[in-house]
Amino acid sequence: MQATLTFLGTGTSMGVPTLGCDCAVCRSAVTLDGDPRNRRTRPSVRLAYNDRTVLIDTGPDFHAQAVRENIRRVDAVLYTHGHADHVMGFDDLRPLSFCVEGNLPIYADDATASTIERIFSYTFRKEDRYPTSAQVDLHRLDPTPGAGVDLFGATFLRIPVIHGRQQITGYRFGSTAYLTDMNDLPEESLPLLQDLDILILDALRHTPHFSHSHLEKSIAFVEKLKPRRAFFTHMSHELDHAATEAILPPHIRLAYDGLQLHFEIA
Ligand SMILES: [Zn+2]
Ligand SMILES: [Zn+2]
Ligand SMILES: [Zn+2]
């Protein structure tokens, strides 16, 4: 079964342009003669297959991203972790949750589910629930590495990744894996990332960072895992799109907001 993945956002938590910054990349992100690929909203992806729409994360730019990509329906949402740049668009699921039959299923590991329940407590209150809160069913993921969630004919495998002091969730679906926010991979995740057509992974900037992979390290992950193609995401204003791609091998590209990829999901 063919699927289309759309990058809703490819920026780091601060987005590009970074507020208050006048660097060349931030300027290029907003000027008419700049490079629109340098305009990076907060990271998430949309998967379309089998007439269904599945999101991975809903960041603070989700409303604008959904308008831009004409997202009119969402059938399920998977979360990677509870940082603001990945969950703060949760409330914008409200109108979309009213369109699905029953409640909108959302999936998160235990720590992320607790964060979502805390931030959006009015949605999950048993009594005195705000009547127009999102109508969702929050499912906690099986913590076992490689444990799968079946959604509309495709299986999403939980891939543990290391993000600073936390272990968070990446996903593999068919021949593609999405590993945002990671600076390392635990041993048990390596066998789950073999034979990939597409690997999407974190590449924050040129210099090392305690909770994100940087360009050189991300290239090394690609060399180790040997996917057919790789796309970097969660990028800061230190990476100019054209200048960075020029130094990458042809099978590694930088993602940009709105980029679509086609692959086999099941
Ligand atoms: Zn992030
Ligand atoms: Zn900047
Ligand atoms: Zn994070």
- Mind listing the pLDDT tens digit for each residue in 185-244? 999 999 999 999 999 999 999 999 999 999 999 999 999 999 999 999 999 999 999 999
CA 256 – CA 9 distance, rounded (Å)? 7
Alpha carbon distance, N-terminus to C-terminus of the chain:
5
Distance in Å, CA 71 to ligand 3 centroid: 24
> What would the mean pLDDT of 94-110 be, rounded to a whole number?
95
Distance in Å, CA 83 to ligand 1 centroid: 6
Q: In which band, very low, low, confident or very high, does the pLDDT at 127 lie, cut at 50, 70 and 90?
A: confident
**What's the whole-model pTM score?**
0.98
Predicted pLDDT at 94 = 97
Residues with CB under 5 Å of ion ligand 3 are: 83, 181
Q: In this model, does residue 129 exceed pLDDT 90?
A: no
Out of 70-79, 80-89, 125-134, least confident range:
125-134
Q: In this model, does residue 128 exceed pLDDT 90?
A: no
% of the chain surpassing 70 pLDDT:
100
Bond prior to 17 in cis (omega within 30° of 0): yes
Among 21, 63, 22, smallest CA distance to 41 is for 63
The closest ligand to the CA of 169 turns out to be 3
